[in-house]
């Protein structure tokens, strides 16, 4: 699972969004989609992370 957290200017969470779900060896993440979501959230920062559950 690939998740992006959108933050305001004081680094407070605006919202979180699951961007992709895949397997341990294969996941498609499109940077343009993350940027589009960030612009829509009107955030000033973002954090991205990947979780390998079951690994």
- From the list 37, 51, 28, the residue with the least C-alpha distance to 7 is 37
What is the extent of the structural domain holding 12?
2-50
The reported pTM is: 0.70
Cα–Cα distance measured from residue 6 to residue 43, given in angstroms and rounded to the nearest whole number? 6
Cα–Cα distance measured from residue 27 to residue 49, given in angstroms and rounded to the nearest whole number? 13
Domain count across the chain: 1
Lowest mean pLDDT of 4-8, 45-49, 51-55, name the range. Answer: 51-55
At 2-25, the pLDDT tens digits run 888 888 888 899 888 888 887 767
Q: Is residue 23 part of a domain?
A: yes
Instruction: Please report which confidence band the pLDDT of residue 54 belongs to, taking 50, 70 and 90 as the band edges.
Output: low
Cα–Cα distance measured from residue 36 to residue 51, given in angstroms and rounded to the nearest whole number? 22
Model pLDDT, residue 53: 62
The H-assigned helical ranges of 1-55 are: 31-41
Is residue 50 a contact partner of residue 4, using CB atoms and an 8 Å limit?
no
Q: Is residue 55 part of a domain?
A: no
């Amino acid at each position: 699972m690939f998740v992006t957290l959108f933050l305001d200017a004081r680094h407070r969470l605006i919202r979180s969004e699951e961007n992709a779900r895949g397997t341990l060896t294969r996941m498609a993440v499109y940077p343009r989609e993350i940027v589009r979501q960030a612009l829509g959230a009107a955030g000033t920062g973002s954090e991205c992370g990947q979780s390998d559950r079951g690994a």
